[in-house]
Amino acid sequence: MKRTILSFTATVLGLVALLSFKTHGTQIGPASALPSAALPAGGATSSAAPAPITSSGPPTPTTNNSGPSATPPPTAGPPAPSAATPAARTVLGTAVQTPYGVVQVKITLSGSKITDAGFAQLTADDRRSADINGQAAPILLQQTLSTQSAQIDGVSGASYTSQGYEQSLQSALDRAGVH
């Protein structure tokens, strides 16, 4: 029988976000000043209601079917038989041109898990888009991490989806060999 389970969870992640943007010009700050969001150590969540079932353990092996490019991840090596922490690696997504500017996401992974997300490039072609980027950027990053930690398949909502963000993020995941 089909079952629908609605569970409430208040997933609160410590947000390390930088909201200082230069909105005067079209360039949103140097890369180092772009917002980023990171999971607190241990990736904690808190729930007000019965917590959703999440699995923990070693990352699930995935198969990269994304096409002809077969560049192995830079930190590739024989997997350790014990639960050693995988080395952190940073992967850049493609720079995507949107009607509003350029979006390029960079992610840091530990194994197949995103532990940090940020923007390598985030430009706006007009003032309004710059303002929206300033609001939307940290939200997008935080949602990426929420999605990871709650182990969900997608998000529904009147959320701040930014054209180009998901595409750049997906390309970063493809390059990292993670889906």
Binding residues (CB under 8 A) for another protein: these are 1-13, 15, 37, 49-50, 52, 60-66, 98, 132, 135-136, 138-139, 141-143, 145-147, 150-167, 170, 174, 179
> For residues 9 and 49, what is the distance between their CA atoms, to the nearest angstrom?
6
In the complex, minimum distance from the CB of residue 124 to another protein, in angstroms, rounded to a whole number: 14
Helix (H) / strand (E) containing 168: helix 165-176
Q: What's the Rg (C-alpha) of the chain?
A: 17
Nearest residue (CB) to another protein, 29 versus 138: 138
Residue 113 CB burial class (10 angstroms; 0-12, 13-18, ≥19): middle
In the complex, minimum distance from the CB of residue 29 to another protein, in angstroms, rounded to a whole number: 20
In the complex, minimum distance from the CB of residue 56 to another protein, in angstroms, rounded to a whole number: 13
What three-state secondary structure class fits 171?
A: helix
In the complex, minimum distance from the CB of residue 88 to another protein, in angstroms, rounded to a whole number: 19
Nearest residue (CB) to another protein, 20 versus 163: 163
The DSSP letter of residue 32 is G
Nearest residue (CB) to another protein, 105 versus 120: 105
Nearest residue (CB) to another protein, 26 versus 160: 160
| Amino acid letter, 158 | A
